[in-house]
Amino acid sequence: MNPENKNQINQYCPVYKSLGLYEDMAGIKKIERRITNIKRRIVISLYTGDDLVPLVKKVCLEEGIRGAFVSSIGAADRIPIASFNIKTGKYDEIIKTGYHEITSVSGNVSTILDDENNAIDLMIHLHISFADTNGNSFGGHLLPGYSSIAVGEVYIDEVEGGMYRYQSEIDKSGYSTIKLNIPLNKDLIPVCRDEMGTYISGNEILTLKDAINIKESGYTKVEIEKISNMTSEAGDYLIKNNIKISIIVE
């Protein structure tokens, strides 16, 4: 045993020491940990037909969220889940139908970066546990295509400073571990993009963050293409700062 570790163990609680708990931990290498703070919590009501993954993504895009922890409860009658195949780097899909109680949804939102630290997409990574009317439990990685039934809630806890993954790591192995405190080069994320990379409902959404960027750039009048919607906060901010916005409709 490393003498440094042994000295450390001698300082621990005698009761725990007698149980051998610290002997088991003595050989563990330094544990990588990430410290962050929760900036705010957003609460969303779910209604019949709501699809969790795109719903969470849409809210995060509208609110300019670049990292968050997500949890949810409720019920659903269509639940697409998957198990990650470590050999192929792909997900094997299963779809459960019929009434199910959602016992737990947990996961996170992270920003996908290219190798130049440009933000290019949001990843919604959720796992779900649920039970049928006989009490049989199931679970897995939640995919788009979920259909809520009756009511439920979603809680989005925004992480201060965001959370990040690299696209190059995902391309190589199928996954990328979460990173914190990465200085963002450019935010290039198209608003309201679905899992296939196409725009949801053909709309982009101008967020408060976009409006602030417009003001800080010194513009008093801007023309924006393909914007058919904006958050109320963004609209109020532009009006308050006397910025005229002209929407170009193709």
Query: pLDDT tens, 121-159?
Result: 899 999 999 999 999 999 999 998 999 998 899 999 999
Domains and CATH numbers, the chain: 1-31 (no CATH), 38-173 (3.30.1330.80), 203-248 (no CATH)
Q: What one-character DSSP code corresponds to residue 31?
A: P
Query: pLDDT tens, 68-84?
Result: 999 999 999 999 999 87
Work out the average pLDDT over 12-34: 68
Residues in the chain: 250
Query: pLDDT tens, 89-111?
Result: 777 899 999 999 999 999 999 99
* CA dihedral of residues 197, 201, 203, 206 (deg, nearest 10): -90
Contact between 63 and 153 (Cβ < 8 Å): no
CA distance 53 to 64: 16
Average pLDDT, the chain: 81
Residue type, 80: P
- Say how many Å lie between the first and final Cα of the chain, rounded: 71
Residue 194 pLDDT: 42
Say which range, 29-38, 137-146, 152-161, 201-210, has the weakest mean pLDDT: 201-210
Report whether pLDDT(204) > 80.
Answer: no
CB under 8 A, 24+ apart: contacts of 133-138: 133/98, 133/99, 137/103, 138/79, 138/81, 138/96, 138/100
Residue 10 pLDDT: 54
Query: pLDDT tens, 161-201?
Result: 999 999 999 988 888 999 998 998 888 776 544 444 444 43
